[in-house]
Structure 1
Amino acid sequence: MSFSSFSDDDNDPQTRGSPGIFEENSLDRSRHSSEFAYVEEGARDVFNEEDGTDSVRDVLDEGDETDSMRMNSVEEGVTLEMYYKTHPNHMLDQRMREITDEDSLWSVSTRRLPWGVENLRDNNPLTYWFSDCPNQKGAHTIDVIFSKPTWIKQVSLFIDYFQDNSYTPWIVSIRGGTCYRDMQEIMQIECEKTVGWQHADLEETGECTRVFRLQIAILSTHENGRDTHIRQAKVYSIPG
């Protein structure tokens, strides 16, 4: 059985944020978080944990009209670096299988054109899904329907706080079931102000979960943002 991806709705974009080199911090089992702080090479001396983002921006803003372009270039460079540096390729080394578009159907709750579900699956961290919900009452969701019951080991999301700011997910719920009606939460992850892949390891709940349908629900974003950006999404299963 073969599926292709689809989405729904329309409109248009925005972004921007701040740059650098990373530090990591991890938190507990049921809610995991990792935090990356960035500095451009020349600004490293003025960076500190409490005001790192502002310090970097101050250094980059102290110049001429090329600062905006320079900052964008720095941010995109960091995004690309962290995309590969924190990529969950190790799952394949552990004989896990990445779910492809041939054996799953991906959809999103809303989207602004041209920032649709296809941007979650294009292996390009400079694109993103952009939700579009003017009167949001529920969560923004990514739904994945499988062609057969599938044991899910890990869900991985690539997010970029320094470019996406208040659009960055904060609390993310991973849900599964045989259909929409019996969907239950499997676990939550908590994303801090992060640039990198965030991993929900479902085995940490005690066991992997066998589902026909998986849902990634963005329960809240940083700074009480209304809509969300997610740059990539991958799901890994246990073969057999």
Structure 2
Amino acid sequence: MPRSAATDRRVHFAGGRYGSGEVSEEELMQDLGEGDDELLGDAMTEDLGDEMDDDGNSEAEDDEGMGDDPFNPVELGLKEINNLAHFGVSSHRPGSGVAELLSDDLDKYWQSDGQQPHQLTIHFLRRVEIRAIRFYVDYNQDESYTPTHIVFYAGTGHHDLIQFAELTLTNPVGWQDVPIANSGGGADGHSLCCWIVQMHIKENHQNGKDTHIRGIKIYALDDQSLGSAAREPARGPRMDLSANHVPAPAAHGLNEQSLRELLDAFERHPISNTESVREPVIR
């Protein structure tokens, strides 16, 4: 039984060919009958779904790109030194303490459970040269638990802590950098050299009482990434002891022949580092 023109148009429409221009909108509406409302709705939903998928994927990619953290410690010659420190908090809820704070899972967090200001104390096992301090907060998830005013202190002990940074945050989402440039430490004056770092959370958004911190990272210079030249201690000018080149300034009053005889004597009778040193004898 041959199909009618209207049936062919419906087939074209259902196959997504309406969008390609084979069937105009006027022709389509004329040929679709009362029983074709479902077909029209399905096709429109399909077309809208395709557009939403395309836009959705694009927006998802954009959101993912915006969420990427540009901080790359390897490229900056830094290494994390959390393992060199003991972390302590002034208070915490069960299941939301230091372990959750140091976890790489940003869905976990430290939640305080006491009076403000809430304190996080980082006590290092030795004196460190800090180049970066970063912590993670998320206002979209935590709202009134998100800090808005934080003061940072550092020193050699609890008795000599000095304020070195202060942050005011407004609806923050993501990793926050603590300003430590010009702290005075290191070869360039941009390092924070200390034993202890303290973080005092004085206020939260919406006058919230307790706080959420979802992660913290401390970084120092990575000697391995700076190259062997940076790790070698400073040395004086090297002397070439070959027979064909004996610099005159190194002779210290000896002529060339005497210096060569002295070097030959050292080669024939080397001094061993393992020889025992005799005790001085009083005569």
Q: CA distance change for structure 1 residues 143 and 106 in 2, over 3 Å: closer, same or farther? A: same
Q: CA distance change for structure 1 residues 144 and 83 in 2, over 3 Å: closer, same or farther? A: farther
Q: 2:98 aligns with which of 108, 117, 135?
A: 117
Q: Distance in 1 between matches of 2:64 and 2:156?
A: 37
Amino acid aligned to 1:235: I
Q: CA distance change for structure 1 residues 100 and 238 in 2, over 3 Å: closer, same or farther? A: same
Q: Distance in 2 between matches of 1:171 and 1:81?
A: 28
* Number of residue equivalences: 157
2:176 matched to 1:193? no
Q: CA distance change for structure 1 residues 224 and 154 in 2, over 3 Å: closer, same or farther? A: same
Cross-structure match for 2:143: 165
Structure 2 gaps, min length 5: 1-59, 185-189, 224-283
**Per-residue CA shift, 1:20-56, capped at 9, x if unaligned?**
xxxxxxxxxxxxxxxxxxxxxxxxxxxxxxxxxxxxx
Structure 1 runs, 4 residues or longer, greater than 3 Å off: 80-84
Cross-structure match for 2:108: 127
Cross-structure match for 1:27: none
Cross-structure match for 2:73: 91
Amino acid aligned to 2:102: R
Q: Distance in 2 between matches of 1:175 and 1:236?
A: 17
Amino acid aligned to 2:143: N
> 1:82–1:196: 8 Å Cα contact kept in structure 2?
no
Amino acid aligned to 1:224: N
Q: CA distance change for structure 1 residues 82 and 129 in 2, over 3 Å: closer, same or farther? A: farther
Q: CA distance change for structure 1 residues 205 and 100 in 2, over 3 Å: closer, same or farther? A: closer
Q: CA distance change for structure 1 residues 162 and 186 in 2, over 3 Å: closer, same or farther? A: same
> 1:153–1:201: 8 Å Cα contact kept in structure 2?
no
Cross-structure match for 2:119: 141
Q: CA deviation at 1:100?
A: 2.7
User: Which structure dedicates a bigger proportion of its chain to strand?
Assistant: 1
Q: Distance in 2 between matches of 1:82 and 1:125?
A: 18
Q: CA deviation at 1:108?
A: 0.7
Amino acid aligned to 1:195: V
> 1:177–1:211: 8 Å Cα contact kept in structure 2?
yes
**Per-residue CA shift, 1:163-188, capped at 9, x if unaligned?**
10011011111210011111111111
Provide the aligned C-alpha RMSD in A. 2.3
Q: CA deviation at 1:120?
A: 1.2
**Which TM-score applies when normalising by structure 1?**
0.60
The structure with the largest alpha-carbon Rg is 2
Amino acid aligned to 1:229: H
**Per-residue CA shift, 1:57-85, capped at 9, x if unaligned?**
xxxxxxxxxxxxxxxxxxxx9xx969961
Q: Distance in 2 between matches of 1:92 and 1:157?
A: 18
Higher relative CO (Cα under 8 Å, sequence separation at least 6) belongs to 1
Q: 1:151 aligns with which of 124, 129, 140?
A: 129
Cross-structure match for 1:212: 195
Amino acid aligned to 1:214: V
Q: Distance in 1 between matches of 2:201 and 2:165?
A: 12
Q: CA deviation at 1:87?
A: 6.5
Q: CA deviation at 1:239?
A: 4.5
2:105 matched to 1:105? no
Q: CA distance change for structure 1 residues 92 and 191 in 2, over 3 Å: closer, same or farther? A: farther
> 2:183–2:192: 8 Å Cα contact kept in structure 1?
no
Q: CA deviation at 1:86?
A: 2.2
Q: CA distance change for structure 1 residues 227 and 87 in 2, over 3 Å: closer, same or farther? A: farther
Q: CA distance change for structure 1 residues 157 and 163 in 2, over 3 Å: closer, same or farther? A: same
Q: Residue 174 of structure 1 aligns to a residue in which SS?
A: strand
Q: Distance in 1 between matches of 2:103 and 2:207?
A: 28
Percent pairwise identity: 29
